[in-house]
Amino acid sequence: MEKSFLIKPMLDEIYPVIDYGKGVYLYDMEGKKYLDAASGAVTANIGHGVLEIIEAMEEQAKKVSFVYRSQFTSEAAEKLAKKIADWMPGDLNWSFFVNSGSEATETAMKMAIQYWQEQGILTKTKVLSRWVSYHGITLGALSMSGHTGRRARFVPLLEDFPVINPPYCYRCPYNLEAPACGYACANELEMAIKRIGADQIAAFIAEPVIGAAGGAIAPPKDYFKTIKKICEDNNILFIADEVMTGFGRTGTVLACEQWDVIPDIVAFGKGMGAGYAPIAAAVASEKVMAPILAGTKSVMSGHTLSANPQSCAVSLAVLEYLEKNVIIKEVESKGIFLKNQLEKLKEQFSFIGDVRGKGLLLGIEFVEDQETKTPFPRKAFITQKVVRIAMEKGLLVYPAGAGIDGVNGDAIIISPPLTITEKEIENLLLLVKETLAAFS
Ligand code: PLP
């Protein structure tokens, strides 16, 4: 290939050139086949090359791809907003479309601040969050993120929003077990609010299952009920960052539903367009919208490409595809099977510390010692090594870990398209075994 001027993640590495994708497989220009067990970055939820989506894309493109949202609305955007309202629990009825997960969480943050401003409360501007979390790369979203590795270079530009420990039961800082722990890590929020002052806090944001920062860390049963109650008692909104989990990844439309809580605002991304178009959303409840509708009558945010008909038509087709093929319903059983099989690998590979997650968002944490849970030294780059070996074997897995030396270990996420078949899961497991065997 000629000299490249494309800025890739690692400038000194050679990347395979992709040719095409079909279902759970991707094929590069050399003809090598990869099982996409990561859905790219937990995004390609319905697999690659789905004809219905391509047809919907073409149909919309023939009509119009772009109109500006302050001049026009479109059938695609209206239908998508209606469908989301229909699918949401509670009265999460109002969709604001953006183009990436970072924009979605940042819009959710701004909506929360505006909600208080419209009521004349101008001091509530902080959006608290947890360590070992990731809410996006733009500065507002990064301020909310407790991913030390990604924050490090920009700390002077960021707000100190991460204030509490995550529900990281495998490495519980209290050395306790749920439910006997009384959800001590959730109760830290109460203390943080007292310290900072509820009059300064607009909202609390959390990923239902911690993704990139932790490697599919799912909380114990009543964790989110505890969090939601603390938020309500202190007049603080609860934002669910469902960018990675939304639209079926864990077996329900919202992962929050699995913990019996309904957020005030939700951020969506990734699976919403399933990789076929850049689209994301901040979805607000009637409660959040009421003072905005009565006041400014406009959510004070937006991007040139917000609600563009092209991306909306694609997202609508993705949701219709999920519905028509009853895909979300099968996620739980597929996830349980895959997780059980991965658990069994602990016996064979002593460097597997933890297997965790929910639905088809599963994580494996690697340790130096299974007994003591001692993490590998950060400089050993274990995650990167495993991801690289997997790729050589024709398997894509997603790297995870917050980069807190000695606290959060190396992990990978296994999150194949929700459409994966039983036979393909068997193949995935074979490739995982081959990868781990080559690593050990
Ligand atoms: N929130 C969560 C939970 C994510 O996993 C991500 C991306 O990994 C984001 C936000 C940011 O999304 P994007 O990369 O589309 O900006």
- Give the pLDDT confidence of 225-261 residue by residue, as tens digits: 999 999 999 999 999 999 999 999 999 999 999 999 9
**Per mean pLDDT, which range of 35-49, 72-86, 256-270, 399-413 is the poorest?**
399-413
The mean pLDDT of the chain is 96
Distance 437 CA to ligand 1 centre (A): 31
Tell me: pLDDT of 404 over 80: no
Ligand 1 within 6 A of CB of 243: yes
Q: Which atom of ligand 1 is nearest to the CA of 278?
A: 15
CA angle 293–297–303, rounded 5-degree value: 120
Tell me: pLDDT of 405 over 60: no
- Give the pLDDT of residue 380: 86
Query: Do residue 425 and residue 286 come from a single domain?
Result: no
Examine residue 8 and state whether it is found in any structural domain, yes or no: no
Examine residue 2 and state whether it is found in any structural domain, yes or no: no
- Give the pLDDT of residue 440: 83
CATH number of the domain within which 22 lies: 3.90.1150.10
Query: Do residue 206 and residue 305 come from a single domain?
Result: yes
Query: Do residue 260 and residue 361 come from a single domain?
Result: no
Helix (H, G, I), strand (E, B) or coil at 210: strand
pLDDT band at 407 (very low <50, low <70, confident <90, very high): low
Tell me: pLDDT of 403 over 70: no
Examine residue 386 and state whether it is found in any structural domain, yes or no: yes
Q: What is the dihedral of CA 351, 355, 360, 361, to 10 degrees?
A: -80
Q: How many domains does the chain have?
A: 2
- Give residues with Cβ within 8 angstroms of 174, minimum separation 6: 181, 184, 185
- Give the pLDDT of residue 402: 58
- Give the pLDDT of residue 3: 84
Query: Which of 308, 324, 340 is at the close of a domain?
Result: 324
For residue 392, count other CB atoms closer than 10 A to its CB.
11
CATH number of the domain within which 96 lies: 3.40.640.10
Examine residue 175 and state whether it is found in any structural domain, yes or no: yes
Query: Do residue 355 and residue 387 come from a single domain?
Result: yes
Structural domain including 261 reads 54-324
Q: What is the dihedral of CA 257, 260, 266, 269, to 10 degrees?
A: -30
Query: Do residue 130 and residue 237 come from a single domain?
Result: yes
Residue of 99, 129, 135 with the most ligand 1 atoms within 8 Å of its CB, for mutation? 135
Q: Which atom of ligand 1 is nearest to the CA of 141?
A: 10
- Give the pLDDT of residue 386: 97
- Give the pLDDT of residue 206: 98
Query: Do residue 208 and residue 334 come from a single domain?
Result: no
Work out the percent of the chain whose per-residue pLDDT is above 90: 94
Query: Do residue 265 and residue 334 come from a single domain?
Result: no
Residue of 143, 256, 270 with the most ligand 1 atoms within 8 Å of its CB, for mutation? 270
Residue of 42, 97, 100, 102 with the most ligand 1 atoms within 8 Å of its CB, for mutation? 102
Query: Do residue 35 and residue 155 come from a single domain?
Result: no
- Give the pLDDT of residue 118: 98
Query: Do residue 268 and residue 320 come from a single domain?
Result: yes
Query: Do residue 257 and residue 128 come from a single domain?
Result: yes
Ligand 1 within 6 A of CB of 134: yes
Ligand 1 within 6 A of CB of 131: no
**Per mean pLDDT, which range of 67-71, 274-278, 396-400, 408-412 is the poorest?**
408-412
Q: What is the dihedral of CA 128, 411, 21, 320, to 10 degrees?
A: -40
Query: Which of 298, 324, 350 is at the close of a domain?
Result: 324
Examine residue 303 and state whether it is found in any structural domain, yes or no: yes
Examine residue 148 and state whether it is found in any structural domain, yes or no: yes
**Per mean pLDDT, which range of 12-26, 61-75, 191-205, 389-403 is the poorest?**
389-403
- Give the pLDDT of residue 215: 95
Q: What is the dihedral of CA 425, 426, 429, 431, to 10 degrees?
A: -100
Distance 40 CA to ligand 1 centre (A): 13
Distance 64 CA to ligand 1 centre (A): 28
pLDDT band at 373 (very low <50, low <70, confident <90, very high): very high
Query: Which of 297, 324, 351 is at the close of a domain?
Result: 324
pLDDT band at 379 (very low <50, low <70, confident <90, very high): confident
pTM, to two decimals:
0.98
Ligand 1 within 6 A of CB of 206: no
Q: Which atom of ligand 1 is nearest to the CA of 101?
A: 12
Query: Do residue 151 and residue 225 come from a single domain?
Result: yes
Q: What is the dihedral of CA 396, 397, 402, 405, to 10 degrees?
A: -100
Examine residue 6 and state whether it is found in any structural domain, yes or no: no
Using CA atoms, how far apart are residues 304 and 160, in angstroms rounded to an integer?
29
Tell me: pLDDT of 425 over 60: yes
Ligand 1 within 6 A of CB of 241: yes
Ligand 1 within 6 A of CB of 410: no
Examine residue 307 and state whether it is found in any structural domain, yes or no: yes
Q: Which atom of ligand 1 is nearest to the CA of 100?
A: 15
Distance 42 CA to ligand 1 centre (A): 10
Helix (H, G, I), strand (E, B) or coil at 60: helix
Query: Do residue 173 and residue 85 come from a single domain?
Result: yes
pLDDT band at 53 (very low <50, low <70, confident <90, very high): very high
Distance 205 CA to ligand 1 centre (A): 13
For residues 339 and 401, which has the higher predicted lDDT (pLDDT)?
339
Distance 82 CA to ligand 1 centre (A): 24
- Give the pLDDT of residue 409: 79
